[in-house]
Amino acid sequence: MKLGVIVSPAAGWSYPEISELARSAEQSGFGSFWVSDHFFGGTGGTPDRNCLEAWTLLAALARDTTKIRLGVLVAAVQYRNPALQAKMAASVDHISGGRLEFGVGAGWKEEEYRAYGYDFPPPGDRVDQLREGLEITRRLWQDDRATFHGKHYRIDDAVCAPKPTQRPRPPIWIGGAGPRVMRLAARYADGFDLGKHGAGGADLTAEEMAAAFRELDEAERTANRERPLQRSHWCASTLDGDAKVLVDKIRAYAGAGLDQYVCAFPREGAAEMVARSREELIPAFS
């Protein structure tokens, strides 16, 4: 079981706070540190908390850390031209010395799209945009010059230089829950982050997670994958009281097929919980 930490949402955090949390996560033995891709906190289209932009934040963290892997979980494909985002990701991979995890999804927060002037098409169209964005990203990372003409995006003889440091490419994570997104992950990605929760936003039970992963298994069989997707899930987490509660939850998820658990600690107390993880959480999965 791989363990990570996510700041989700990044709203309400200052950069020094996030940077210190990332360095602490690195020192405590977490394998990865993730940020979310949102433009403002709160709901109803009205910002109520400061919120740092994801890719510039990741570039800064790449300089402030040395070992921990870094990613956006997950970037909405429509927020940035996919070719530009592929170039940005390649740059962060270089800045970090090859520590980028590339997470991308079809997007969901309609009020954010509207506030920033982005179209918010129906779910099927957003998944189509994700597919085209993945095709563009992979071509730019592997081809000297890449051309792609799709319904939503196009590139002509485009160059991404330098290529990412990692070979054959940075790991690609697709986040979501539906069968179409699972099929895209099976075709294009290295990992799938299950963006699903139980009734009323409750934690998934191990049985609910296992059921979702059976759908993913079917998508993998249909795609004739040679290697199974890595499976990830981020979840509200706490080390208040006995750490055994969190350890047992993660172990149950491991039994359901999870490979990576990403802790979303509450902002108030996150620094303490990350530090405590070195003795109370990390050793349970080492």
* pLDDT over 80 at 41, yes or no: no
* pLDDT over 70 at 47, yes or no: no
Confidence band, pLDDT 50/70/90 cuts, at residue 247: very high
* pLDDT over 80 at 44, yes or no: no
pLDDT digits (tens, 9 = 90+) for 164-211: 999 999 999 999 999 999 999 999 999 999 999 888 889 999 999 999
CB 258 within 8 A of CB 233: yes
Token digits of residue 255: 């039994």
DSSP calls for 14-31:
-HHHHHHHHHHHHHHT-S
Query: What pLDDT, on the 0 to 100 scale, is given for residue 48?
Result: 63
DSSP calls for 207-232:
HHHHHHHHHHHHHHHHHT-SSPPEEE
| Mean of pLDDT values over 120-131 | 97
Going by the DSSP 8-state scheme, the letter that residue 108 receives in this structure is: -
Query: What pLDDT, on the 0 to 100 scale, is given for residue 171?
Result: 98
Which domain CATH number covers 86? 3.20.20.30
Q: How many domains does the chain have?
A: 1
**Dist. CA 78–CA 113, nearest whole Å:** 9
Other residues' Cβ atoms within 10 Å of the Cβ of residue 108: 14
CB 99 within 8 A of CB 166: no
Q: What is the pTM of this model?
A: 0.95
Query: What pLDDT, on the 0 to 100 scale, is given for residue 233?
Result: 98
Query: What is the span of the domain harbouring residue 220?
Result: 2-285
Share of the chain above pLDDT 90, in %: 88
Query: What pLDDT, on the 0 to 100 scale, is given for residue 260?
Result: 98
End-to-end C-alpha distance for the chain, whole angstroms: 8
**Dist. CA 272–CA 39, nearest whole Å:** 27
**Dist. CA 34–CA 9, nearest whole Å:** 10
Query: What pLDDT, on the 0 to 100 scale, is given for residue 168?
Result: 94
CB 222 within 8 A of CB 183: yes
The per-residue b/e assignment along 66-103, b for 16 or more CB within 10 angstroms, e otherwise, is eebbbbbbbbbbbbbebbebbbbbbbbbbbbeebbbbb
**Dist. CA 174–CA 218, nearest whole Å:** 16
**Dist. CA 178–CA 192, nearest whole Å:** 11
**Dist. CA 85–CA 217, nearest whole Å:** 29
Half-sphere exposure of 219 (CA within 13 A, CB side): 22
Alpha helix ranges (H) inside the chain? 15-28, 54-64, 82-95, 110-115, 123-142, 179-188, 206-223, 244-255, 270-280
pLDDT digits (tens, 9 = 90+) for 48-101: 678 899 999 999 999 999 999 999 999 999 999 999 999 999 999 999 999 999
Can you say whether the dihedral through the CA atoms of 245, 246, 248, 252 is positive or negative? positive
Token digits of residue 267: 């902002």
**Dist. CA 73–CA 33, nearest whole Å:** 10
| Mean of pLDDT values over 93-112 | 96
